Structure formats: C-alpha cells, structure tokens
Amino acid sequence: MQALGRHLLCEYHGCDRELLNQPEQIGSELVAAVKLAGATPLQVIVHAFSPHGVTGVVVIAESHFAIHTWPEHGFAAVDLFTCGDSVDPYKAFDHLRSALHAETHSVVEIRRGLFPTDVKHKP
C-alpha cells in the first residue's frame, strides 16, 4: 500500500532537565532538526508554560514537527510528520536525541494516508 506520509512518534527519557525548560533553545534545536532532515521550515511557534515545560511546533512545507517537554520528568515527546520522499525524519530524530542528551529513546513509525495501490484516489 502507498502512503502519503510518515509520522514518527518519538520519546526521549533522561533528558537534560534544564534544557527542557528553555524555550529559545528548544525552538533552535527543533529548527536545526528540520533543516538536518531536509525539510523546509515555514513557521515556528514556541510556548513556555509556568512553572515549567515547553511546547514547540515548526510548520514545514512537508507537514510539521512538534515537541512537548516535561522538565520535571526529564521527558520530551516529539512528533515528526513528513509527506513526500525528500525528507528523512530519522535524521531529525537522531539530532534531537543528541541535543536533548537523552539517556533512552524510542520511536514508532506510522504510515499516514494509506491507499491500496490498485485504487486511484481523487484529488
């Protein structure tokens, strides 16, 4: 079956707790991940919560990358959703693992927009 996109659901545990609470740094690392993956950034939104935690989204021409942090748990959840064949979301996954100083990590890939190969879908 063909897929329109790939969606990586990423978890990073044992991350640098101080870094997970720095919205500017989280935004910078997310944009760096976008560029390393070969995606085209269109818009960046980063929000800091009180007393802690950051959510960031980079809208890309190929879909979006998002991060949600829980500094108090040393945890970050990341969605890397890409469409087309020109972007490698695993490069972004690896960059964020390193940048967040994750002790452990996991990733699940979901293929999105599945269509049987013998059925033509209408635009």
Asked if residue 77 belongs to a domain, the reply is yes
Catalytic hit among 7, 10, 15, 83: 83
Residue pair 1/115 in contact by the 8 Å Cβ criterion = yes
Instruction: Identify the domain containing residue 84 by its residue range.
Output: 19-52+72-99
Q: Return the structure tokens found at 86.
A: 């020109």
Asked if residue 3 belongs to a domain, the reply is no
> Is 68 an annotated catalytic residue?
yes
pLDDT at residue 123, rounded to an integer: 61
CATH code, domain with 81? 3.60.90.10
pLDDT at residue 54, rounded to an integer: 98
Catalytic hit among 52, 68, 73, 101: 68
What share of the chain in percent tops pLDDT 70? 93
Query: What's the structural domain count of the chain?
Result: 1
3-state SS assignment for residue 115:
strand
Residue 16 has pLDDT above 60, yes or no: yes
CA distance 83 to 62: 5
> Is 83 an annotated catalytic residue?
yes
pLDDT at residue 122, rounded to an integer: 59
Residue 121 has pLDDT above 60, yes or no: no
DSSP state of 18: T
> Is 10 an annotated catalytic residue?
no
